[in-house]
Amino acid sequence: MTASLPIIDISPIRAGVSDPKFHTASAELFSALSEIGFAIVTGHGVDPQITANMRAAVKAVFDSPREVLMQNMVAKGNYRGFVPLGYFTPNSGKGKADQYEAWKLHFETDAHDPIRKQCDLYGPNIWPAIDFDVRTPIMNYWHALDVVSEKLIVALCLQLGVDPSVLLSCMTMPLTNMTLLNYPSVEPQADTWGIHPHKDFNLLTLLAHDPIGGLEVRNRNDEWLNAACPEDGMVLNVGDMLELWSGGRLLSTPHRVFNKSGKPRQSFPYFSKPRWDVVVKPLVEPVAGFDRPSLHVGTSAADIWYSNWPDTESTDPAQVLGNYN
């Protein structure tokens, strides 16, 4: 297995267009995301203590008794709270249940916010009933990644020749979400994974360095790459929405998790996603052969979340669930 992804220093991107290295760094990032859809980004500016506090919060959640966590199970109408081990199956309906447990969080919305009448995916988060303040470190980390995501959107838009304000205007009241994940160590089998091979559905995904490892990315030659990441880096990848907005120039790439370490693996991916009423369609002329229907963010998001349940199948033509074994 090839063991590397491109490493891009995004500190010039974070500094803004006035930085003399901004366009060079943006072009390097765009190239990586055009070729494989993944990159390791350094110079992201997130305080290491914020990440350390976040990691401690995730550990506190999964160190808690399962009978406590199961008081707040996910539900189809909310999709916030605890996901027990092996609870969900791949959206494609193929393969065994994924071997992870999770705590799902979404963009925090006041219980009385009018937007809840427009889309029931909004609402207040559910927090574990444990004697540990997980909300503060999680939200500090979340807000730090909101800043990184916005800087990346600006850089990629300029490379596409798109006014960044077009995409940034779609990110008010976003359906951005985060998953706290715990993977036990399992022996890899043909159809049993920590998380099955899949593409992300959102705009951009950011994942902090993971000391255990196990994330693998499939390149265009159908080779699985080890997504090894330095301690000061983050794994960045393109989701289906950005692939669609870019007319197929930026790639949403299959990836999977095998935890073969013999130790629990914990991670906390951040998934940026536009507001519920945004319709995503190419903003530039699509590349040859790229022909995908537009998607309505709220409708498609609800569909892909609901189709995790074994008794629910996706009916949304905008979903490209695929079989990436």
- For the beta carbon of residue 80, count every other beta carbon within 10 angstroms: 20
State the Cα–Cα distance between residues 89 and 56, nearest whole angstrom. 28
The number of CA neighbours under 13 Å toward the Cβ of 178 is 26
Q: Mean pLDDT lowest for which of 73-77, 131-135, 273-277, 304-308?
A: 304-308
Q: Which CATH number fits domain 7-306: 2.70.150.10, 1.10.150.110, 2.60.120.330, 1.10.10.10?
A: 2.60.120.330
pTM exceeds cut of 0.85: yes
For the chain, give the mean pLDDT: 89
Confidence of residue 158 (pLDDT cuts 50, 70, 90): very high
Asked if 106 and 177 count as a contact pair (C-beta separation under 8 A), the reply is yes
Question: Higher pLDDT residue, 98 or 318?
Answer: 98
Average pLDDT over residues 157-173: 98
Q: Which of 78, 172, 173, 73 is nearest to 121 (CA)?
A: 78
Q: Which of 177, 161, 181, 193 is nearest to 258 (CA)?
A: 193
For 87, residues 6+ apart whose C-beta sits below 8 A from its C-beta are 74, 97, 101
- 113 SS3 class: coil
What pLDDT score was predicted for residue 93? 46
Q: Which of 206, 208, 194 is nearest to 256 (CA)?
A: 194
Q: Which of 57, 80, 92, 84 is nearest to 199 (CA)?
A: 92
pLDDT above 50 for 321: no
State the Cα–Cα distance between residues 243 and 248, nearest whole angstrom. 5
Query: Which residue's structure tokens are 């990159």?
Result: 39
Q: Which of 208, 207, 319, 203 is nearest to 272 (CA)?
A: 203
pLDDT above 50 for 190: no
Average pLDDT over residues 86-99: 63
pLDDT above 80 for 105: yes
The number of CA neighbours under 13 Å toward the Cβ of 20 is 0
Query: Which residue's structure tokens are 């399962």?
Result: 66
Asked if 220 and 253 count as a contact pair (C-beta separation under 8 A), the reply is no
